[in-house]
Structure 1
Amino acid sequence: MDDADDLKVTDNPAAGRLEIRLGENLAFAEYRLEPDAIVFPHTVVPPEFEGRGVGSRLVRAGLALAEAKGLPIKPTCPFFRAYIAKRPELHERVHPDMRGALTAG
């Protein structure tokens, strides 16, 4: 195990984002609740977090949040979209309007 196992994802609904802190550094995935989905428009992972699976943790937390709310996701963030596109078992979790973007180009 490395110290990435100590990095905890927290939901900050007031800011509309999932966050992971490491010292003064903050990685986050922004989200916006809509009536029929959760939109994930932007993810930021500072260089200090690279190679630790932090971005993947944020995506998995986003998927868990969507599941808890009973909503599909709209992965407009390129990182979210690429993560899900590589995992066909997750495609059904994506809002029907966006599933075509998972296999395009």
Structure 2
Amino acid sequence: MEPEIINNPAAHKFETTVEGKTAFIQFKLRGDVMTVLHTIVPEELEGRGLAAAMSTHVLKYLEAEKMQLVPLCPYMLAFLKKHPAYQHLVKNKLV
């Protein structure tokens, strides 16, 4: 079952809650550019694919909104290397 991932713009996070624990991707926005800062998954939830599911959700969101990405988060950088189909979203092709 796919986790429900919500965009919480007031907190600058995409987040999902599983078993009372919240995993999230923290970002900042500047115009049509989203800078992804951190991907955080509580230790109890590791190994369930939550970081990958959230990353995919964020990238699809950026694509739909015609936005660009600056991936400062090490997890997002690694994810993009494994999923080159999303490279077109990266501003200045830093990856």
- Same fold per TM (> 0.5)? yes
Instruction: Report how far residue 95 of structure 1 moved.
Output: 0.8
State whether structure 2 residue 7 is matched by structure 1 residue 8: no
Aligned residue identity for 1:48:
E
Gaps of 5+ in 1: none
Structure 1 consecutive aligned stretches of length 4 or more whose deviation exceeds 3 Å:
none
Structure 2 residue corresponding to 1:32, chosen from 23, 28, 32: 28
Structure 2 residue corresponding to 1:63, chosen from 32, 49, 59: 59
Measure, in 1, the Cα distance between the counterparts of 2:17 and 2:42: 10
1:48-79, Cα deviation, whole Å (9 max, x unpaired): 21111100011011112212321111111000
Match of 1:28, SS state, is strand
Which structure's CA Rg is the greater one?
Answer: 1
State whether structure 2 residue 85 is matched by structure 1 residue 89: yes
Match of 1:57, SS state, is helix
* Between structures 1 and 2, the one with greater helix share: 1
RMSD in angstroms over aligned alpha carbons? Answer: 1.3
Gaps of 5+ in 2: none
Aligned residue identity for 1:56:
A
Stretch of structure 1 that moved more, 47-56 or 61-70: 61-70
Match of 2:37, SS state, is strand
Instruction: Report how far residue 6 of structure 1 moved.
Output: 4.7
State whether structure 2 residue 42 is matched by structure 1 residue 46: yes
State whether structure 2 residue 77 is matched by structure 1 residue 73: no
